[in-house]
């Protein structure tokens, strides 16, 4: 799990760098397109990782004087 977190963190960091570079207005068109393509892939990767984590999360609820696990249900 730690390896997946590192991958997510590195991907998110790279995505932030790409956004900063694109927002600078200093990139040539070809470089902008390459950044956009890379950024799109990173967004998909990060989204997939977050979905995987969300599906694994369980919340604890009080039930009959004790604690019980209940599957996480995301708000839609």
Domain ranges in the chain? Answer: 2-71
Measured between alpha carbons, how far is 50 from 34 in angstroms, rounded to an integer?
24
pLDDT by residue for the chain (76 residues), tens only, comes to 455 666 999 999 999 999 999 999 999 999 999 999 999 999 999 999 998 887 777 666 666 777 777 776 766 6
Residue 58 β-bridge partners = 71
- Is the CATH number of domain 2-71 3.30.1760? no
Q: What is the pLDDT of residue 30?
A: 97
- The whole-model pTM stands at 0.69
Q: What per-residue confidence (pLDDT) applies to 3? A: 56
């Amino acid at each position: 799990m730690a390896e997946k977190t590192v991958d997510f963190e590195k991907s998110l960091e790279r995505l932030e760098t790409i956004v900063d570079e694109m927002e600078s207005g200093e990139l040539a068109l070809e470089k902008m397109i390459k950044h956009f393509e890379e950024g799109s892939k990173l967004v998909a990767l990060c989204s997939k990782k977050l979905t995987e984590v969300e599906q694994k999360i369980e919340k604890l609820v009080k039930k009959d004087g004790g604690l019980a696990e209940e599957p996480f249900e995301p708000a839609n």
